[in-house]
Structure 1
């Protein structure tokens, strides 16, 4: 199953939305559109500050800016899925759009997880091994790591290009994820669970533990490191709150015994609810930058202070005064 199948999707990707609760059908489009609007505005704001500020980004800010980019690409595709839900899972666009929208949402979800992995590793290294690993914590290595994450996210999402397609189901045309066999489904689910849930959660949890220990042991550490680490901890906790329930339900759904207990539909409904809770993480991250990230707020004030009309007029007036003073000095010296 993919991240975007409906609540009662079967392993081969067929979907029947008639069993979905009516309140869920009505609430999902509104919720998705709100996430899309706020997510686009807030993540564009974050990227504007990081990209146009006169100071170069630190290693942590390189990771955070790529995380904001992944969140932006994800929420920008959500209105297409909202339109799909509004039409009662009758895909209103063409086949290539079915593949591309699914690919973008899935890929950027995967990339967001691994950007958080990089962030947690960087923060733990900065606190636990601040001197011995300074060579590794360079912007060029951070940019290379981000590039590898984008490539890895694309590779994991290739099944979306292959197996996402339009399928006629009754009177609807579904944007369905159809794997050819049950074995292929089990293999796909196992790989995704391993690389998108088990490994990242283990690394993030371990690094978070090291970060907390490092903060307790280094009470006199530099304030900039403490501020950056506090922001990263807030982002990591928000990620766990938003995505952990979905992955837990996804793991439960993976267990074959659920089919024998006849609770597949109920678990699928919870899976969908928790999936959309996970999407809220793309809105929550930029809010945390502003609330928790004091360094980010200072950067934003400096950037928009430079762009304000008052600042521009002062700079223009100052340059004119200096120019007139220089002209006057030259005329005095000539006389």
Structure 2
């Protein structure tokens, strides 16, 4: 008897393909719902839109941070790596859009099935840990102002980012291992599925996602944010000018943190409800249908966070807007210098030929 458990979602949640697999969806006696009809139409378009806009926005952020004449601060190193993590996710979404448009018949082969899913999983873990780093940086800058010069060094920041990428890759190993192509006879498609060897492994992966991918980092972020807010309120007006740069950077970080939490909290709460449903703690057709619909809505709400960050940098980040203006001037000056040099060379050649 086949004892494996399958879910084909791009994240470890439910998906309409569950009803075609050998997982929990097969045992459902609930009537079919028409809720998926509008999702089939909406999702590919939505994924393509946020992919295109998000890739443009995050590339713009990386260009500003990487090509500005001044070296990046520690906070900017973390934010640029967050933009890179968002790019990784956004580059994977068009594959899933194509999968939807192709009737869930995965056209890209087994390797891409594993790599695309692992890329999305890496973003799930790495993005929140980059936010842990950036909130920790703001905490040190505002709460431990006397020692932040020793603790906030670009070299340490780069090593921390490297460690986060390594952690994200390590935590994505289960997705890379359990993703596979499988023929689904009922629908005559070869689907890209997450197939776990048993329910216990599935449960362990979900618990790892909740604990390491959300609860632990959110506790760290919440503590740092609480101390940051106290520090901002406790600073006297005469110190405002001295701390103005740090304040501007902190307001941007707080906006990015708030957007992340608003986008990702529903996804992780639904993961908990889904675990309870699989183990029979909560039951009922209404719960099952709500899980089916909300798993899609909340997954793509989470994906939207990768599009929001560049928008926040422009709206909230005064220092970022200043960098953009300076970069534009820098490029304009470089073009004028290059044009002047070409003109001088042309004049010299003309003079020499005469």
Structure 2 length-normalised TM:
0.84
Deviation at 1:268, TM superposition (A): 3.0
Residues of 1 paired with 2:23 and 2:165: CA distance?
A: 26
Report the CA distance between 1:101 and its aligned residue.
0.6
Partner of 1:114: 129
Say yes or no: does 1:213 pair with 2:230: yes
Name which of 165, 178, 190 aligns with 1:150: 165
Deviates more, 1:288-297 or 1:259-268: 259-268
Q: How far apart in 2 are the matches of 1:299 and 1:154?
A: 32
Using the alignment, how far apart are the partners of 2:193 and 2:339 within structure 1? 59
Aligned to 2:151, the other structure's residue is in SS state: coil
Residue 196 (1) aligns with residue 213 (2)? yes
Per the alignment, in what secondary structure is the counterpart of residue 88 of structure 1? Answer: coil
Moved more, 299-308 or 7-16: 7-16
2:313 alignment counterpart: 289
User: For structure 1, which segment, 163-172 or 142-151, has the greater mean C-alpha deviation from structure 2 after superposition?
Assistant: 163-172
Uncovered stretches (5+) of structure 1, i.e. residues with no partner: 325-335
Q: Distance in 1 between matches of 2:342 and 2:131?
A: 45
103, 110, 127: which is aligned to 2:142? 127
In structure 1, the residue corresponding to 2:149 is in which secondary structure? coil
Map of 1:134-283 to 2, 5 A cutoff?
134-169=149-184, 170=186, 171-219=188-236, 220-221=239-240, 222-255=243-276, 256-262=279-285, 263-283=287-307
Question: How far does residue 260 in structure 1 lie from its aligned partner after superposition?
Answer: 3.1
Instruction: Give the C-alpha shift of residue 258 in structure 1.
Output: 4.8
Asked if the contact 1:253–1:268 (Cα under 8 Å) also holds between the matched residues in 2, the reply is: no
Identify if the C-alpha distance between structure 1 residues 295 and 231 changes in structure 2 by more than 3 Å, giving closer, same or farther.
same
Rounded to whole Å, the distance in 2 between the matches of 1:132 and 1:297 is 28
For 1:199, what is the secondary structure of its paired residue? helix
Give, in angstroms, the shift of residue 61 of structure 1: 0.3
1:88 Cα deviation after fit:
2.3
2:180 alignment partner, SS class: strand
Is the alpha carbon distance of 1:70 and 1:153 closer, same or farther for their aligned partners in structure 2, counting shifts above 3 Å?
same
Residue ranges of structure 2 left out of the alignment (5+ in a row): 1-6, 27-31, 348-354
- Note the C-alpha offset of 1:317: 4.5
Cα pair 2:58 2:310 within 8 Å, conserved: yes
1:303 is aligned to 2:327: yes
Distance in structure 2 (CA, Å) of the matches to 1:48 and 1:14: 46
What is the CA-CA distance between 1:111 and the residue it aligns to? 0.7
Deviations 1:141-178 (A, max 9, x none): 11111000000000000012211000111211110000
1:5 deviates by 4.9
Q: The residue matched to 1:55 in structure 2 has which SS?
A: coil
Q: Check conservation: 1:7, 1:265, Cα contact below 8 A.
A: no
**Aligned-pair CA distance for 1:261:** 3.4
Compute the displacement of 1:135 (Å): 1.2
TM-score (norm 1): 0.89
Question: Aligned pair in 2 of structure 1 residues 278, 45: CA closer, same or farther (>3 Å)?
Answer: same
